[in-house]
Structure 1
Amino acid sequence: MSTSRNSDRFIRVAAWLTLGAALLPLGGCAVAALPCRLTSATLKIIPVVGHAASTPFDMCASAID
């Protein structure tokens, strides 16, 4: 049972370290603008209205940068 706990902890620590390593190259402003950029990119997938709907989120990301 302790082996299972140790492997769960190892996986959790490895996941956090991977996330940290992925975000490390981003500057402070880039991390803050990430939600705006992800929302904008997701909205742009929608045909016809996607680009218009994503405009406020693009401006949000630009303002943060």
Structure 2
Amino acid sequence: MSTSSIPDRFVRVAAWLTLGAALLPLGGCAVAALPCRLTSATLKIIPVVGHAAATPFDMCSSAID
């Protein structure tokens, strides 16, 4: 049982609605390229080899766009 006054199901619904609202302005191609862009951005954080490792994912997102 949660100690907060907001039930868990309302928090889950609010999270899904927020995610939907964030993705709404994106076009069809942008939604399809999102996994490639997120992976690329995550890999670029890694020092030294991050940008080289992210190159295929950059090409993936460019190809989708």
TM-score, normalised by the number of residues in structure 1: 0.82
Q: Deviations over 1:8-32 (max 9, x none)?
A: 3322221111111010011111011
**What is the count of residue pairs matched by the alignment?**
65
Give me the whole-angstrom Cα distance separating, in 1, the residues matched to 2:20 and 2:64: 21
- Could you tell me the percent identity over the aligned residues? 91
Alpha-carbon RMSD across the aligned residues, in angstroms, is 2.8
Q: In 1, distance between residues paired with 2:9 and 2:37? A: 32
Secondary structure (helix, strand or coil) at the match of 1:20 reads helix
Secondary structure at the residue paired with 1:48?
coil
5+ residue gaps, structure 2, are none
1:51 aligns with 2:51: yes
In the alignment, the residues of structure 2 paired with residue 64 and residue 36 of structure 1 have an alpha-carbon distance, to the nearest angstrom, of 9
In proportion to residue count, which structure has more helix? Answer: 1
Structure 1 unaligned blocks of 5 or more: none
Whichever of the two has the greater Rg, that structure is 1
